A and B are shown apart, each in its own frame.
Chain A
Amino acid sequence: MTIHTFEKILGEHPFFKDLSEPHLDTVVGCVTNVVFQPGEFIFREGEAADRFFVVREGKVAVEVFVPNKGPVTIETIEGGEVLGWSWLFPPYKARFDARALNAVRALSLDGACLRTKCENDPAIGYLLLKKFTELVVSRLEATRMQLLDLYGND
């Protein structure tokens, strides 16, 4: 079995591949492997957003709990995608629930640690801010498309 280092995994990931070696080292210093069982919450709305994830395998539902209705899935995050952006934007609290729909293997990145590093090194701070702004914009675009109700009959 081939064991890939965090440097290799993140260095080849589309989200991080533009980072210089020193900046990648900074990110790698904040990463651990995690596994979530089906149904397990990865984070819940209102919790401190001190982590984000690079999903390697499995499917995560990003949900909102609606009283008298239950959890409503807004979108799913799957292998290769990044889960969580609240760690970078005040008030640093999770805006939604994230729940594993099946067995999820991911890299967990310590957002609190990275925030401090971003404050100390504006260059990597700016890079990560750009990356995560792109991520938020792509999610906003997707949400707007969903709101269009393209396949509806109205």
Chain B
Amino acid sequence: MATTEPAPATVSASDPMRPEPFVVRQAIKETGDTFTLTLAPVAGAKFRPFAPGQFNMLYVFGVGEVPISISGDPARPEILVHTIRAVGATTRAMQKLQKGDWVGVRGPFGTAWPVDQAHGHDVILIAGGIGLAPIRPALYHVLLHRGLYGRVVVLYGARTPRDMLYPKELREWRSRFDVVVDVTVDRATMEWQGSVGVVTKMVQRSPFDPGSAMAFICGPEVMIRYAAQALQQRGTAESSVFVSMERNMKCAVGVCGHCQFGPWFVCKDGPVFRYDRIQRFFGMREV
């Protein structure tokens, strides 16, 4: 296979450091600690196209700014969708936002899933927990251009059935004949009749051609490591595996250094990386 790299980082804003005002069109509770905000630009401001895998910096006025992956459809950039987990002061403040409230948006930033380079290949999308959110735009793109890809497999692991993101969409994707969707949970509830176990186990039984498949992985770093190992055991080259990294992004343009990961800045050189480029830094405790 020809060498493939993540789609390069692009910044479409004229001043990437200045937040633009957006208004909350919809706020949806997804799980106990996770919610989705749908945003639209205020008063005629231009919407910005984004590529699957990119992120925005969302600013809650007077509270703080955080990097959040875009989880909406790249074919509909006029609707900005972010799925967010409330884990700190800023995201907890975001959780309280309601329709009509304003937020500041900078972006989109960062590299993207190499969806165009995957034409003609089987595509394996592996997500854990909230990692389904940054993967979803890639799946939207692949489904919109379904004929350009080989087999499409979605493997998703969640903590419990109640913690699964986008359950309605998962059911819709599962009902399609041209997508394989396999979902598993770590802890089952009494009524759960689906799979129980780690997401990496599903790699072993999934129907794809390991020799030519391209895999996109997003989730906790430990999961990424084991999923990449499972793919390697199936015969998928590490250069065909792409991962989305999470770090403490602040400036989002590779200036401040907060998100340094080895020789890389995750905001500028990532968040999507080719796995073989960053694999050696995964086990380093100080990185």
A-side interface residues toward B, CB under 8 Å?
59, 61, 70-76, 78-81, 101-102, 142, 145-146, 148-153
Contact = CB atoms under 8 A, between A and B. Distances in A.
B195 A78 contact: yes
B163 A151 contact: yes
B197 interface: yes
Contacts of B200: 142, 145
B159 A152 contact: yes
B72 interface: no
Contacts of B158: 151
Contacts of B184: 76
Given A145-B222, A146-B187, A149-B186, 8 more contacts: A71-B190, A73-B196, A74-B196, A76-B194, A76-B197, A102-B193, A150-B159, A150-B222
Contacts of A78: 195, 205
Interface in B186-242: 186-188, 190, 192-198, 200-201, 205, 219-220, 222-223, 226
B261 to A, nearest CB: 19
Contact of A146 (B194, B197, B220): B197
Contact of A151 (B186, B193, B197): B186
Contact of B188 (A72, A79, A102, A145): A72
B196 A150 contact: no
**Residue picked from A61, A72, A146, A153, most chain B C-beta under 10 Å:** A153
A150 B129 contact: yes
B219 A75 contact: no
A148 B190 CA distance: 22
Contact of B198 (A81, A101, A146, A153): A146
Interface residues of B, number: 30
Nearest to B87: A153
Contact of A70 (B190, B194, B198): B190
Nearest to A69: B190
Contacts of A101: 193
Nearest to B195: A76
A126 B129 CA distance: 40
29 contacts: A59-B193, A61-B188, A70-B190, A72-B188, A73-B192, A76-B195, A76-B196, A76-B197, A78-B205, A79-B205, A80-B205, A81-B205, A102-B193, A142-B197, A145-B200, A146-B187, A146-B197, A146-B198, A149-B186, A150-B128, A150-B129, A150-B159, A150-B186, A150-B223, A151-B128, A151-B129, A151-B130, A152-B159, A153-B87
A153 to B, nearest CB: 6
Contacts of B85: 153
Nearest to A102: B193
Interface in B148-167: 157-159, 163
A71 B201 CA distance: 22
Pairs A-B, 9 closest by C-beta atoms: A151-B129, A73-B188, A151-B159, A75-B197, A150-B220, A146-B186, A145-B198, A73-B196, A76-B195
B33 interface: yes
Contacts of B87: 153
A68 to B, nearest CB: 13
Contacts of A71: 190
A75 B196 contact: yes
